[in-house]
Amino acid sequence: MGEKYGKGHHAVLNKGEENETEIFGYQTEGCRKTLCIAGYVFSCGLLPLVFYWRPAWSVWANCIPCTLREADVILLRTTDEFQIYSRKKVTWISLSSLNGLVSLTPDHPLIADEDYVINRAILRPDLKVRCIQVQKIRYVWNNSEEQFQKVGCLEDGFTAAKIHLKFGSGLTREEQEIRRLICGPNAIDVEITPIWKLFIKEVLNPFYVFQLFSVCLWFSEDYKEYAVAIIIMSIISITLTVYDLREQSIKLHRLVESHNSILVTVCRRKAGIQEIESRYLVPGDLLSLSGNKMQLPCDAVLIEGGCVVNESMLTGESIPVIKTALPKVGDTVPWKLCDQEDYKRHVLFCGTEVIQTKAAVSGTVRAVVLQTGFNTAKGDLVRSILYPKPMNFQLYRDAVRFLLCLIGTATIGMVYTICVYVLSGEPAEDVVKKALDMITIAVPPALPAALTTGIIYAQRRLKKNGIFCISPQRINICGQLNLVCFDKTGTLTKDGLDIWGVVPSDRNGFQEVHSFTSGSALPWSPLCGAMASCHSLIFLDGTIQGDPLDVKMFEATNWEIENSGIDFHVRGVPAQAMIVKPSQAACQIPVGGIAILHQFPFSSALQRMSVIVQELEGDRMAFMKGAPERVVSFCQPDTVPSNFASELQNYTMQGFRVIGLAYKRLEINHHITALSREEVESNLMFLGLLILENRLKEETKPVLEELTSAHIRTAMVTGDNLQTAVTVARKSGMIAESLRVILIEANEAEGSSPASVTWTLLEDRKRCGYRNQDSYINIGEDVSRPRGEEGSYHFAMTGKSYQVISQHFSSLLPKILMNATVFARMSPGQKSSLVEEFQKLDYFVGMCGDGANDCGALKMAHAGISLSEQEASVASPFTSKTPNIECVPHLIKEGRAALVTSFCMFKYMALYSMIQYVGVLLLYWKTNSLSNYQFLFQDLAITTLIGITMSLNGAYPKLVPYRPPGRLVSPPLLLSVLLNVLFSLVMHMLGFILVRKEPWYSATDFFSACSLPKGNISRTTASPMISGKVGPDSFMSYENTTIWFLGTINCIIVALVFSKGKPFRQPIYTNYTFVIVLVIQMGVCIFLLFANIPGLYQRMDLVCTPTLWRVYLVIMLAVNLILSLVVEKVIIENRALWLFIKRSFGFQSKSQYRKWQSVVASDPTWPPLNQTSYSDRLQSASGVSYSNPVFESHEEIP
């Protein structure tokens, strides 16, 4: 489309990002708009309804294509597989509204400065800005670059020095006012959607519009009883949907409402310090942070001082993170690239909590606002909840095709009806009504209500199990899940680690384990000093806060922590230093306390941390803790026990987390700032091993075993470190003890070296040295390749490796994902990306987590299950009140039951429609039909009751190792429907033809067949159907009675045949209500068939037939029942037969993961153990290509 009208007509917003969107420029044309308005009137509102469903048609009808510069309407189209269109009106922001506050002219210095996007967006001399708002983000038209650009964030192109220079003194009032007007308020506003809006949006759903059409038609034909019933069912369905949406809206509003009312202190150039509401902040404002706790209302970069921040909203771990000021260096490169370390250590993210500030020399802590409103980290989370990616589920696409087929069938019936009745000379009004009736017969208006009923029952059963659902349509999708990703901490395991013991060391070897479970305190030694001081804990509000590992380690020593006061004076110890002291509960310790002078913080890349400490009135020392293999590499060899490797192997094999400890004494005369990290971390003495365990929840292992036995794949996606993740995967049974784990390490390109990926076997059963190794994991020497059964190995990798592979080794990614089980150190963005990659391989992905850092993945997954009631529960379709993963198999079972129920209802409603359709068409041949009461009995007394009760079957308690079919157009289902339609057609035609050949048949005398006196039954009908005709056009006829009895009882038979039980639902006999309803319905029908009650027959427009003919009808119905049951049981539900047919015809699965499994199984060189591949070699490699164009994530866990 863009090429047709030139480059200026088309552009791409957010190129390469997840929300990438194409935009097209259009200009409203008066003539077209006038014609459309006329169309609105003459179509009686149908045209605007169509335009509501298809916004692109509205734009094409009202507007003409033009360049984006000239456009007053923008048409947007997503670049994903759904290609969803939406329209946006171009609006203007006038700076003249600021004239009362700021004296602005086109040549004003602030407006003339071309450094900022907002200044390049100002149209001179009018001082106006063109903008559009897409998914809560504002985009302004950049006049110089001829494109729409995002505002509400500071440009990434600024250097660190320029940020200090331009924003280090704050903005002037004029700058602030201009930015506020153009960027909008710093608010994450989520309005509670009014009930009337939700109601109208739901009512305008095509299903309900069709129901409205049907109801109006029925009222015009005096068929008001069923019309009222449909209205009641629709109102109940709409009300429940609106209630769910309203509750979700309220929940999200409450989550973000406190964000917009935070008081902050800003520094104004020329105006000094001011306190304002956070909604008035703009990018470039200078925040002054006090020592009080506060929630960050925006994203900001720290330029002065330091902070300790709780980033649990981003990482899921309530671990204080130290933030440092952005250095002033770097005049040539953007500030995000000037620092060798991750730039995020300078950034304070919106929604995180500042728990402590550390003032600079000037006595202040200051930060420059980077992003505001929905551009922030929290805003992005909320947007992902407000605008989720559409769910691509085959069932719903097939449902549309199913309805189109029914509409096609109805069209044939309409043509047939028109031909028959026109040739019969019927009035035009009657012909139209009867033709329209064919639509309501062939396309059942009760279908949406019937499907909703099944989902409501499933939702109610889930609620009884403590699982709450805010997106009921996702329940069906749960029935197709074949891969479930789990967060680790708080999901598979209990929160945090527990200290199991410590293994002291001396030059002779390891000593006996000191266990803390006995309650005995650790006696004083350098080892005790290391545990008491080598950490990054802080003391705030009377509590110790920090990494759970550090907290557990410190608490095991029975020491206390405090901050020294201003009047504290100890030689070599500065004031305000952190002091740790033995408590009264500790053993007799000769040390009065230890002052922590300096920290070298933990880095996942370095795998260690160190501190410089000083005993009060004593020696100065350095302590180190970290990965045992890394720690011993800094120790004097003679201090490391000879059996170090075997001892370490012993504990890691048992699933313990092992930390190494070491120390050395320092000269007290040296100034600590003069000591480099390299000097401190050398020639250390090994102290011993700290043993910790990450305990599984009791429910974890049985649930994972249940999922595995059901052939549902499981994976771990965690922000924790790799060693712990692999250990937990083994202990939980996610990775069997007999299978091997292959570590995949990928590195970014550096200089002339291309990006690389290395494959290393993690060997847990062989002894190994303590050379420099990865993340506490022992890397074995065995280079043999794990061959044999498919899936006899598992891949493990970190988020950093996943990111590199995604960007540089995209052709390898699908092969890796086939056996990748452990993903550690994954950021929220990487978790979401991983879920999407699995979905691209046609997996149905479930995600179970409990933290805010899981929100994106929970929303992205086909079924997100939150074990928390905080942010994650808002993003997740499902929330479990029970904080363990037992909810996962419950949900899958209910999903499978709901999916099968949906298929049952689709099949039943299709057969019910076709039974009525065939019967009515046969009667139309004789210009007859069913009466209102006959229709009402079938529609209300039979079908509606069946629709309400058929879905009551509960889920089968056992997960079988295969899933129910996920498609309506699958061969078994289509064959089932077609054969039953054929049986019904044959039976109806047989009855229609045979009754006319009976000797007692008469086309005019309806009382000749029975011995009843003719006077007992009136020759006029009551309540004529549709046409309202009487006398010769009466509904009473032998054909009518025969067709009605066959059709009505056949509806009951079909319900019995299609109501599935095992292996996905409870057997039919457990659904007592349904069984009772069927028995009563069948009893009533048989009673009517043999009753011979004149008044009842007259009311129902039935005629009396000989008893033998009634027996013939029962025989025909019995044969139909037997045939249907045999076909359903022997053919349709015969899984072995269909598998045999697939093999015989060489059927190949279309699922991408099946194809890649075949590729992996047939590749003798896979996996490439103990090898390193480089990206330049890989790009030219032959084979199946694979790419993820929407992947864009630069997030890492610091």
Enzyme catalytic residues? 487
User: CA–CA separation, 905 vs 883, rounded Å?
Assistant: 34
User: CA–CA separation, 422 vs 410, rounded Å?
Assistant: 18
Phi-psi region of 849 (alpha: psi -120 to 50; beta: other; left: phi over 0): beta
Of 818, 789, 761, 714, nearest to 1160 (Cα)?
818
φ, ψ at 952 (rounded to 5°): -80, -10
Specify burial of residue 972 (Cβ count, 10 A radius: 0-12, 13-18, 19+): middle
Distance of CA 102 to the CA centre of its chain: 46
Residue 480 per-residue DSSP state? T
Q: Which residue's entry shows tokens 């009673």? A: 1087
Burial letters 737-766, b for 16+ CB under 10 A, else e? eeebbbbbbbbeeeeeebbbbbbbbbbbee
Q: Can you list the pairs that 201-207 forms with residues at least 24 positions away whose Cβ atoms lie under 8 Å?
A: 202/238, 202/241, 202/242, 203/238, 204/49, 204/52, 206/53, 207/447, 207/448
- Check: CB of residue 193 under 8 Å from CB of residue 415: no
- Check: CB of residue 266 under 8 Å from CB of residue 288: yes
User: CA–CA separation, 1189 vs 699, rounded Å?
Assistant: 39
Name the 3-class secondary structure at 322. Answer: strand
User: CA–CA separation, 1186 vs 1155, rounded Å?
Assistant: 12
Of 590, 567, 587, nearest to 577 (Cα)?
567
φ, ψ at 384 (rounded to 5°): -65, -25
φ, ψ at 15 (rounded to 5°): -60, 130
Element (H, E) at 26: strand 21-28
User: CA–CA separation, 113 vs 121, rounded Å?
Assistant: 11
For the four alpha carbons of 852, 857, 860 and 864, in that order, the dihedral sign comes to negative
- Sheet-wide strand order for 263-268: 272-277, 263-268, 286-288, 366-371, 299-304, 347-348
User: CA–CA separation, 433 vs 437, rounded Å?
Assistant: 6
- Check: CB of residue 857 under 8 Å from CB of residue 491: no
User: CA–CA separation, 977 vs 576, rounded Å?
Assistant: 80
ω before 883 within 30° of 0 (cis)? no
